[in-house]
Structures are given as C-alpha cells and as structure tokens.
Amino acid sequence: MEKKCSFCDSPIELGRGKMYVKRDGTVFYFCSSKCERNMIKLGRKRRKVKWAAATTKSKAKANAKES
C-alpha cells in the first residue's frame, strides 16, 4: 500500500521513507529526512513551506475559497 508523506503529501514508494510515531500515538510518514526535520524539529506547517506546498497546489486552490 502506498503511503503519503505527512508533510509534503507526495507518495512514498514501498520500502522507502520513514514512519514516525509521536508519544500521543499520532503516526506520521515521511518521504525523506528533510520532511521529518521540518515537521518534527522545526514544527513547520506544510502551507508555510514553499517546496512542500508546491506539491499540493491543486489542493491549495480548492482550499483557497474557504480561507
């Protein structure tokens, strides 16, 4: 089953990427350590990071009307 990166939303190939479980039980999947660092260490939100938001352009457009 293909997973999606919890940070940049790009698909993660089988056998690649990382699973991260927070203490409260929340599970994150990361396509790279870059995404892991940004989300865990830096606490960044996807929309505030240009390179990550670019992969979710279509979604951002759909959400633009609401916000």
Residue (33 or 63) nearer to Zn ion, CB: 33
Instruction: Report H helices in the chain.
Output: 33-36, 50-53, 57-64
Nearer to Zn ion, 13 or 66 (CB): 13
Q: Which amino acid is at 35?
A: C
User: With CB under 5 A as the contact rule, which of the stretches 26-34, 38-46, 58-66 interacts with Zn ion?
Assistant: 26-34
Residue count, binding to Zn ion (CB under 5 A): 5
d(CA 67, CA 4) in angstroms, rounded, equals 24
12 contacts Zn ion (rule: CB under 5 A): no
